[in-house]
Structure formats: structure tokens, C-alpha cells
Amino acid sequence: MHQTIPPQRFYPYLTWQDIDQMVDKNKVVIVQPVGAIEQHGPHLPLAVDAALGMAVIGQALEQLDPSIPVYCLPPLYYGKSNEHWGFPGTITLSATTLVTVLMDVAESVYRAGFRKLVLLNSHGGQPQVLEIAARDMHQQRPDFWLFPHFVWNVPHQVGELLSPQERDHGIHAGDAETSAMLAILPDQVKMDKALKEYPPKQKDGLLSLEGALPFGWSTRDISKSGVVGDATVATAEKGKKILAQVAAGWVTVLEEIYRFEPPQRWQE
């Protein structure tokens, strides 16, 4: 049941008495992985985002100092993936449903006595949803601190392993994701169907698919295959390096969250 998570750090394996007797629960870090079940081109399974998130947090928790109390909840496999509706197989929650689920999970974590919750997101289509849930939960519980973090946003040098074009435009099912999947679930990758597809070149200007000034789009607007990147150059060796770098970044981030001291609340 714990999959990639070290069993001693898997929250469901604790008893209620383990939790009841835990000391300094305000310092303990709870992690909720949030993934997606969505199309990733003709060569990758629907489970990519969920699988990568679990692989990264599993490696990170294996490396984390045993004295730092961090426990991982079971992954939430479904996310907000309606940008991929144009391809069969995608399962999606609405933004409203996802926020409600996260708020309910967070409330349960709070009632158990914990005060730090990481929302570890591995799907690029929902960071804003997790940020809204984190802010709203903190408004309801001012002594509860939530950290809505995207799995790829920790310190790493993955970009050095990718081509310049892939770094700039490979946002879905390309080299990085395919390489990582070759490292963790090689039997589920169909490299004979891997392909290279980038979105049509846009006119020079301030607007972009992602970045400071984005616009709303669906995957069918920018890709025929569901791939946005170059999957043909992916390798398992590269995937192992990618996962190792991102996991090491997560070790650093988890250590910092454990040491996190809340700001002093302004008293009117």
C-alpha cells in the first residue's frame, strides 16, 4: 500500500494512539501528494503525474534525516485535468471539487493536531487550485500552515540535461517526463510510439502559454498527439538523474518546512 514511501513514514500505517501520543505535532510535516490521471501522448500511461510525484517524494523521504518527522498521506490520483478532455482517458475533477477535497483533508489533518501540511502537486494544470485551497484553509485556521508546492519547483539542474528547445517549450509528455517514466515504470512506456511535437510558433509579443502573461488554452489547441515536447530523445539513465536531482531538492525543502517558524500575527 505504501508504494514508494518508506513504510515508517506512511501516515496510514500509524495507529490513532501513535498520532495521539506524538510529541510536538505542531512541528511534524504531513505531505499530501496530488497528481492526475490524464493523457500523456501515445507513448505514456495516464498515470504519469501521479507516478512521478510519488517517485520523487519516496526518494526524498528515503534520504531525509530520520530525526525529522515527516509523514506522507496516500496520493490523490485525480486532479483538475479538463485541459486534456480532447483526448480519451482523462479523468478530471472540477476546480471546486478539488478545493473541497483538499479542504476536507486539511481539516482532518488539523483536527489530528498537526499544523504543517504540504500539498505536493505534480500536475501543471492545477497549481492555482492548490494555492487557493491553502489560502482559504489558513484563513479558517490561522495557526495552520499549508505549503502548495509544485514538484518541479524545488532547486535542481534538470534543465542542463535537456535541449534549449525542450527547456523552453517541452511542457507535457516530452523528454523529462518520458525519461523519468523510463526510470520508474519502463514496462509502461511505449518508446516505439514516442514522438516530437512542439506547439505552433507564436508571434513575438508578451503573451505566452505559460509565464507572467498567459492565456487560457486546451491541449487540443496546441498539440495533435497530446505531446508538447520531444519524447524521442528520452532515456532511463537521464530519468534517473532527473529524479535524483528533484528528490534532493525536496529533501532541502522538507528540512526548511520542518524548521519553518510562522510569522508573528499582527494584533489589532
For residue range 14-42, list pLDDT tens digits in order: 999 999 999 999 999 999 999 999 999 99
For residue range 219-243, list pLDDT tens digits in order: 999 999 999 999 999 999 999 999 9
Domains and CATH numbers, the chain: 25-256 (3.40.50.10310)
Nearest-angstrom CA–CA distance, 221 and 102: 30
DSSP string of 46-113, one letter each residue: TTHHHHHHHHHHHHHHHHS-TTS-EEEPPPB--B--GGGTTSTT-BB--HHHHHHHHHHHHHHHHHTT
Predicted confidence at residue 267, as pLDDT, reads 62
pLDDT band at 268 (very low <50, low <70, confident <90, very high): low
